[in-house]
Chain A
Amino acid sequence: MAERFDVVVVGAGPAGAAAGLVLARAGRSVCIVERGLFPGAKNVYGGVVYPRILESIVPRWWEEAPVQRFITRRSTMVMTATQALTVDYRTAAWGSPPYNGVTALRPEWDRWMAGHAERAGAVVLCSTVATGLLRDGARVVGVRTDRAEGELEAQLVVACDGVNSFLAKEAGLYPEVDTDHVTLGVKEVLHLPKEEIDRRFAVTGREGVDIEILGATRGVPGGGFLYTNYDTLSVGVILQLSALGRSGRRPEEFVAELKEHPGIAPLVAEAELKEYSAHLIPEGGYDTMPRLVTDGMLVAGDAACMTLAAGIWLEGVNLAVGAGIAAAETAIEALGRGDVSAAGLAGYRRRLESGFVLVNHAKLRSVPSLVLSDRMQFRYPGMMCALAEAIFTVGDPEPKPGLRRIFRRALSGAGVRLRHLLRDTLVAIRSFG
């Protein structure tokens, strides 16, 4: 006999836990299926959550969430092999409610969120793989699992099954996946005493630092990051999958290279490796998203390519939570009306499009490609560092060159044409403006 629920949510990550929580609070019977030993066991991310959206489902989340550090210092670093230009911003405002970014470990964070769903009445079924969809004609009516007698019937399935989303693919919601728009994240978690982290990163107490890096992955489009946890650091790179394959280089070499950069080495020196990890990231944004609904099913989070990789904004967990809430609200409405067809679920996209999830994604749709473009990756970092170096070098006895000349030299030295720079600037202004 198959078990029956109003809704089966697949995946107890941030999207699935948020969806399960909202559904359970509305009195719906809901089962969250999680393939890991516990929620978060299969999940890796860089390390920063922007949790303000949580306020709507867990008021005063900061009093209970498993936060490592609250980000009060955000640096954006542009580097070449021997140079680094950093914009470093620090504010006390992010150190008090409602906060901004926080570092957290996913095994703790996801378990905490799923715990809320469970206390609201959701069944969290761990160590269980959803192996496929149950169908009635074209309509999704539940999932098969790898448990004995493991069919879970439901009026609705919410697929929050992550970047590989075999369920969304099985439902035919995905076009072909393009490896230009998928990146591999590789990360090391390194231990240092808490006080040593405070000293090296110039913070105190629970204050934390977020460093995002462009130009760290020579030869392969991507980026680097370094975050402070309580008594560990998260350091790693993201690498465009197609280019990584062609490069013939191993992923962990890029992390090693970043750790040896003169701007990074003193921060991570002598730290002890505690865990190595890797995960894929769907970076393509709006234009690479699958269809979000079909008869009897909704897709949310990484399963729907909702990670936002827009250079200065690197977000994922918040968008997953936002989409999970929207999926649950749509489900509640559709179940109430008794119409779980794709048409009956159309409110999902409307909700996302009137909120931050798809408004931000639609507005920034050209940014992910711009960030991974050859010029942004391999020419502009050198150009920007050359500009800074020329401006700050005191070249006596030569008289100082004018800024115009410095600018022209930096451009030609980095092989940048002015018209390309202007065109890219225009794309950036249109997207960010």
Chain B
Amino acid sequence: MSVDLRRPTGVEPGWPAVSFEDRMGTVDFRIAGRAHIVVDDEVCRSCTTRECVTACPANLFVPTANGGILFNYEQCFECGTCYLICNNEGAISWAYPEGGHGVVFRRS
């Protein structure tokens, strides 16, 4: 049997297992009363690629059982990934949240 070289360093592969909720919990958001991103569910139904679902770093796009997309604007980084990779004209209407609202980075 070979020697497990990783053990003596005290480094456990997989450390630390942070859930996505805990990950997002480290970010400060001032939630605006009005959504700054609007997704047209009708357009999404005809989309076959759905790249927004995996690429959004905040994981805000959720496919629904009826083939549409559910979108939650509240924990948005305001990065712009979704509207730039979206193939379907008119599916995502994207603007900045009202001034002083949205994400507040503290340590970036």
List chain A residues, Cβ under 8 A from B9: 266, 269
- Please, how many angstroms separate the alpha-carbon atoms of A408 and B100 in the complex? 58
B98-A270 in contact (CB<8A): no
Complex CA distance for A115 and B10, rounded to whole angstroms: 45
Question: Which residues of chain B have C-beta atoms less than 8 A from A278's C-beta?
Answer: 57-58, 77, 79, 81
**B10 & A242 in contact (Cβ 8 Å cutoff):** no
B3 an interface residue at 8 Å Cβ cutoff?
Answer: no
Q: How far is the CA of A179 from the CA of B49 in the complex (A)?
A: 15
> Which of chain B's residues has its CB closest to A242's CB?
B85
List A residues 181-226 near B (Cβ within 8 Å).
Answer: 182, 184, 186-187, 189
Q: Could you say which of A42, A184, A232, A270 contacts B107, with CB atoms under 8 Å apart? A: A232
The verdict on A241 contacting B55 (CB below 8 Å), with A275-B26, A278-B79 known, is yes
Q: With contacts defined as CB atoms under 8 Å apart, how many contacts are there between chain A and chain B in the complex?
A: 136
Task: Tell which of B12-20, B38-46, B65-73 binds the partner.
Answer: B12-20
Number of interface residues of B (CB under 8 A): 45
Instruction: List residues 261-277 of chain A with CB under 8 A from any CB of chain B.
Output: 262, 265-266, 269-270, 272-277
Interface string of A28-47 (1 = CB under 8 A from B): 00000001110011111100
B33 at interface by CB-CB < 8 Å: no
**What A residues does B99 contact at CB under 8 A?**
35, 126-129, 145-147
Pair B54/A260 contact, Cβ less than 8 Å: no
Partner of B81, one of A41, A184, A248, A252: A184
Q: Are A107 and B22 in contact (CB under 8 A)?
A: no
A126 and B84 within 8 A (CB): no
Q: Across the two chains, which residue of chain A brings its CB closest to B103?
A: A42
- Distance from A17 Cβ to chain B, minimum over Cβ atoms (Å): 16
In whole angstroms, how far apart are the Cα atoms of A129 and B96 in the complex?
7
Digit string of B1-41 for contact with A (CB within 8 Å is 1, else 0)? 00000100111111110101011101100100000000000
State whether the Cβ of A420 lies closer than 8 Å to any Cβ in chain B.
no
Bound together, the chains give a CA A279 to CA B77 distance in angstroms of 7
Q: How far is the CB of A126 from chain B (nearest CB, A)?
A: 7
In chain B, what residue has the closest Cβ to A41?
A: B104
Please, which residues of chain B bring their CB within 8 A of the CB of A265?
A: 11, 13
**Residues from chain B with Cβ under 8 Å of A83 in the complex:** none
Indicate if A244 sits at the interface (CB-CB under 8 A). Answer: yes
Known: A127-B99, A241-B85, A275-B105. A249 touches B16 (CB 8 A): no
A126 touching B100 in the complex, CB below 8 Å, given contacts A179-B85, A275-B106:
yes
Once the chains bind, are B57 and A252 in contact (CB under 8 Å)? Answer: yes
With A and B bound together, what is the CA distance between A360 and B27 in angstroms? Answer: 36
A248 touching B79 in the complex, CB below 8 Å, given contacts A189-B107, A260-B13? no
Pick from B80, B103, B104, B105: contact of A280, CB under 8 Å: B80
**B7 to nearest A CB, angstroms?**
12
CA–CA, A105 to B101, complex, Å?
Answer: 20
| A177 on interface, CB distance cutoff 8 Å | yes
With known contacts A269-B15, A273-B18, A280-B80, A106–B108 Cβ distance under 8 A: yes
Which residues of chain B come closer than 8 Å to A129, judged between CB atoms? 96-99
- Chain A, residues 135-153, CB within 8 Å of chain B (1/0): the string is 0000000000111000000
**B80 smallest CB distance to A (angstroms):** 5
A353-382 CB contacts (< 8 Å) to partner B: none
For the complex, give the distance between the alpha carbons of A238 and B10 in Å: 29
14 A-B pairs whose Cβ atoms sit less than 8 Å apart in the complex: A35-B100, A44-B105, A106-B105, A127-B99, A146-B99, A241-B85, A245-B49, A251-B55, A252-B57, A265-B11, A273-B22, A276-B23, A279-B79, A280-B84
Question: Which A residues are closer than 8 A to B by beta carbons?
Answer: 35-37, 40-45, 105-107, 126-129, 131, 145-147, 163-164, 166, 177, 179, 182, 184, 186-187, 189, 232, 241-242, 244-252, 260, 262, 265-266, 269-270, 272-280
A-B pairs with the 3 shortest C-beta distances? Answer: A127-B100, A245-B51, A278-B57
List 7 additional A-B contacts (Cβ < 8 Å) besides A41-B104, A44-B77, A270-B16.
A35-B96, A36-B100, A43-B108, A129-B96, A129-B99, A184-B79, A276-B23
